[in-house]
Structures are given as C-alpha cells and as structure tokens.
Structure 1
Amino acid sequence: MAFYLKPDFSKLSWEAVYAAMSQAFFSLSLGIGSMTIFGSYLSKKRALTGESVYVIFFGALSALMAGLVIFPACFAFGVDAGAGPGLIFVTLPNVFNSMMGGRLWGTLFFVFLSFASLTTVIAVFEHLIAFTMDEWKWSRKKASYIGIVVMFIASLPCVLGFGPWSGLEILGEGTNILDLEDFIVGFNLLPIGSLIFVLFCTSKYGWGWNNFMKEANTGIGPKFPEGLRGYMTYVLPVIIAIIFVVGYYQFFC
C-alpha cells in the first residue's frame, strides 16, 4: 500500500510524468472519438464542462480501486506489478493459480473484465456506426452487422498474439502483438487525435473558439472558463506535441 499510495518525489522523472499523461489520454479515450460520441448524445440541459468533471472523477476513482486490488496481489505473490499489457493475461493468471479458490476468482475476474471491455467496445463501436449512418446512410442494423464482422476479424491478432502468434516480436524481444497495438493507439492515435481536437476547437480554420464556448457552456452546470483561451490555443497544443515526440524518443532510443 505504501508503494502504491505514498509518493517518492526523488524518483520523479520526465519519463514518469510522460507515462502519467499518456495514461490520462488512454483512460479517458481522448483523441479516438469515444468522448466525442458520448458528448454528442448528452442533453442540452447539462453543460459539457460539468459532465467532463464527473467523467474525470469517476475514471480516477475506478483506477484507484483497481490499483488497491492489483498492487497488493502482485506483491503478495511476488510478481512484477509493472508488467505492462501482459499483466492481465500473463501475470494475474499466475496469481490466481497460487490462490486458494483461484479458479473461481480467476473466472470471476475475467467475466467482469469482459463486462468492462464490452462497455469500451460499445463506445468505440458507436462512433463507427454513427459515422456509417451519417456519411454512408446505412441503417443501424446494417452498420452493426458489418461492424461486428470487421471488429471480430480485427481483434483476432490480439487474441492469437498470446497463442499461435506469440513468437511475433515486432517491437523487439519480449514484445507481442498487444504491445504493438498499444503502441499504435497509445503513442500515435491518442496524442495525434487529441492535438487535432484542440486545434479544431481553437483555430479559426476549424470550429473556432466562439463556437466551442457556445457548445461547451450550453445548459446548467459549471461553465468552461473564458480565461483558458490562451492556454488552450498556444500552450496545450505544444504540451501534446511534446508528449508525442518524447514518447517516440523514449520508445526507440
């Protein structure tokens, strides 16, 4: 618990800051359309700023609770808590194998993980369906059926990466296909997509600041501060660009 919750600022480095910021991008699904599709279905009665605060708060709370489960379990059974994407599918099963009733707890864990994954799939799936409905005039049923097939095929490499394709180490020794997919999303789509969103909302060549403020502040609840315009326009894009560049540097150098 001390390892998890007690900060050691002597070990604080740019790499740790970058990892935390990257995780924030990932956990909030920024840059790949998930928050956009959720926001598009919100009622005009509620301001976007207040709803965004709720998303951040409950996202952080769920992550904190997950850490309270995972970190003590890893230390109790002597496994690496920093195993990365393989933690869930490789490390934690070994933890369950060492526990009394591990088969039961392991089964429950992956059942609940499936529920969590399903909610994420719904978010990702919906903006793909909405795109095909709006741009290609497909019906929801047609978009869903075709999307299911495409998503199933696209998910196979991740599944096979822990089985028949486990020998594929595209990003180097000890990596797998899930690491590659994590690199594509975490190091590329999330920061680049977020940068595009920020520039779109603040630049006159995109939606523009005034239109953004009008949309964000419609309805009751906390309003987006007008004083953040300079930060949003000039500072935040630079921060996101630095995250992107430093991520590539640390990954390949």
Structure 2
Amino acid sequence: AFFTLSLGIGSMLIFGSYLSRERTLAGESVYVVILDTLVALMAGLVIFPACFAFGVDAGAGPGLIFVTLPNVFNSMMGGRLWGTLFFVFLSFASLTTVIAVFEHLIAFAMDEWKWSRKKASYIGIVVMFIASLPCVLGFGPWSGFQPFGEGTVVLDLEDFIVSFNLLPIGSLIFVLFCTSKYGWGWENFIKEANTGIGPKFPEGLRGYMTYFLPVIIAVILVMGYIQFFG
C-alpha cells in the first residue's frame, strides 16, 4: 500500500484535495483501497504462477521486471507477443504513476512560486528526464556501479531510497501531522475527512491513529531495514 498508493510522498494527498466536498474523503479512500487491492491480486495471479513455473525468484526486486521476466517470456510460446504486451501495459502504468507523483510537485510550484501549469509541466518534464537517466544507464554503461553489492544496479538504490525510506517515513509524518496538536490536529482532520455524503471516518479510531498506527509504521520501517541489510 505504501508503494502502490504513494502514501508517503503526497500523491493521494494532492488528488484528495481535488475531490468535490460533496463526497467524504473517507468514503472515496475506501473505494481507492478496494480497487488497488483487486488490481494487485490480479497482477499476483499472473506474475507468481509464471515465476514458479519457470523457477524464478518472485522476490527478485526491480531486476525481476527488466532481467528475469524477459527471460521468462523468451521461454514461453508466443513469448515475444506476450512480452511486448506486458511492457506496453507497463509503460502505461509507469506514465500514470509519473503523472500522479509529479502532480503534487506541479501543484506546489503553482501555489508557492505562482508558476502556470504549463511552465511547471515543462520544467517538470526536463527534471524528470534528467533524473531518469541514472536508472536507464544503470542497465547499460553504468552497470558497473553496484551500490549494494554484486548484482545490484542504480534502480536498486532508487528503490531503497523510495520504498524503504520516503514512503514509510512520509506516511509516519502524515499520521503524526493529522493526529498531533503540533500539526493539523485530530479535530481538524476528522472534520475534513467526514465532510460530505458517504462513509464517515470512525471517530473511535483516534487512539489507534494517534498511538498505535505510528508505532506500526515505525516497526515496518525498521523491519524493512533489517530485511534489506540482513
């Protein structure tokens, strides 16, 4: 959920700010979580059987997509067709992800620096292109750079920065901001979340949100480090 919903880096936050106040944020969040879970389950039903059938490690990380799966497609009947379709659809998924991630950056530039959307988008495209080069070159000329040992590439470093740091730490900050008196505060949060028609956020979860959820996220953060470096 940290990764697929980009919870810790503001994507859902900025899209939530664009929603009509006629519907509750809590209700719309439920729909998003359900759809995201269903898509993840369907993807798992495709990826995991293929990995097990060809003896591929399903937890291979970023290399699974760009190194392992192409070898799987090469071993399949009609693999070139299925491989092409897979990467075409993956490109669409990547494009929508980039749009989601960059929307809050564009919104920030528009609100804080008073840039037009066109200017913010053009500059964002240039920044995105430059920032993507290390990842692209990591599978070619820069493949000798192995940040975490043999077999790792630049993408593994970027995945570590985002998945193991920005997403959980950002989520922890969001939770503390929404529940702490030093941030937005619980009363303001619950009022905003329950404005409109639809399912309401249970006010009885205040204790869980304030005390237990931050601990759970912190444990996930620490366990991620242990798993990665262990």
TM norm structure 1: 0.88
1:142 aligned to 2:131?
A: no
Deviation, structure 1 residue 79: 2.2
Q: Which residue of 1 aligns with 2:161?
A: 184
Identify unmatched segments of 5+ residues in structure 1. 1-23
Q: Which residue of 2 aligns with 1:167?
A: 144
Query: Given residue 188 of structure 1, which amino acid in structure 2 is its aligned partner?
Result: N
- What is the root-mean-square deviation in Å for CA atoms of aligned residues? 1.2
Q: Which residue of 2 aligns with 1:15?
A: none
Q: Which residue of 1 aligns with 2:36?
A: 59
Deviation string, structure 1 residues 39-80 (Cα, Å, up to 9, x no partner): 011111111111111111111110111111111222222322
| Cα distance in structure 1, aligned partners of 2:226 and 2:83 | 37
Q: Which residue of 1 aligns with 2:82?
A: 105
Q: Which residue of 1 aligns with 2:97?
A: 120
TM norm structure 2: 0.96
Deviation, structure 1 residue 240: 1.3
Query: Given residue 215 of structure 1, which amino acid in structure 2 is its aligned partner?
Result: E
Query: Given residue 137 of structure 2, which amino acid in structure 1 is its aligned partner?
Result: L
Query: Given residue 198 of structure 1, which amino acid in structure 2 is its aligned partner?
Result: V
Query: Given residue 133 of structure 2, which amino acid in structure 1 is its aligned partner?
Result: L
Distance 1:171 1:191, change over 3 A: same
Q: Which residue of 2 aligns with 1:74?
A: 51
Query: Given residue 32 of structure 1, which amino acid in structure 2 is its aligned partner?
Result: I
The 4+ residue runs of structure 1 with deviation greater than 4 A are: none
Q: 2:60 aligns with which of 74, 80, 83?
A: 83
| Cα distance in structure 1, aligned partners of 2:160 and 2:72 | 26
| Cα distance in structure 1, aligned partners of 2:64 and 2:141 | 19
| Cα distance in structure 2, aligned partners of 1:48 and 1:189 | 23
SS of equivalent to 2:7: coil
Identify unmatched segments of 5+ residues in structure 2. none
Deviation, structure 1 residue 176: 1.1
| Cα distance in structure 1, aligned partners of 2:224 and 2:71 | 31
Q: Which residue of 1 aligns with 2:183?
A: 206
Query: Given residue 57 of structure 1, which amino acid in structure 2 is its aligned partner?
Result: I
SS of equivalent to 2:9: coil
Moved more, 219-228 or 232-241: 232-241
| Cα distance in structure 2, aligned partners of 1:119 and 1:27 | 12
Q: Which residue of 1 aligns with 2:5?
A: 28
Deviation, structure 1 residue 100: 2.1
Aligned residues with identical type, % of pairs: 88
1:234 aligned to 2:211?
A: yes
Query: Given residue 18 of structure 2, which amino acid in structure 1 is its aligned partner?
Result: Y
Deviation, structure 1 residue 246: 2.7
Deviation, structure 1 residue 190: 0.7
